Amino acid sequence: MKNIIRFLAVSMLLIFSISCACMKDKNTISGKVVSVEFGKDGYTAKINTDKNEVYFAVISIVNVGGPQNYKQLKVGEEVSLKGEIWKTETEKHMKVKEIISIK
C-alpha cells in the first residue's frame, strides 16, 4: 500500500512538473521596428518579421516586469520579443513579456 501511494505521489509530481514546463510562454518574434505609437501606459511597436508578417507589439513597464526591463524601441531597430500572441481577423498582436534583444 505504501509503495502504491509513493508511486502515485511521484507520478503526480512528475505530471505537474511537465505540465508547468509546457505552460511556459514560447511565443517569440523577431523583426524590424516599422513604427512606434505611444499610449497611456506604454507604446505599441509595429514589427515586420523576416517572413513579412506584421505584428503589433504592446510594450508596457508592467508587462515586462518593471522599469529595469523596459526599453523604448526606435524605428529601424532589429528586435526579438517574447510574449502572448493573439490574432484578430486582420491583425496579429503580441503582449510583450520580455525584450530579448535590440540591434
- Domain tally, the chain: 1
**AA identity, residue 71:** K
Task: Let me know if residue 56 belongs to a domain.
Answer: yes
- pLDDT at residue 71, as a whole number: 94
- pLDDT, average across residues 91-103: 95
Render pLDDT for 1-57 as a digit per residue (tens, 0 to 9).
777 777 777 767 666 655 544 444 469 999 999 999 998 889 999 999 989 999 999
Residue 29: closest CA among 9, 7, 5, 51: 51
Q: In CATH, what number is assigned to the domain containing residue 98?
A: 2.40.50.140
Question: 3-state class of 84 per DSSP?
Answer: strand
- pLDDT at residue 83, as a whole number: 96
- pLDDT at residue 22, as a whole number: 47
Domain that holds residue 46: 28-102
Record the pTM.
0.73
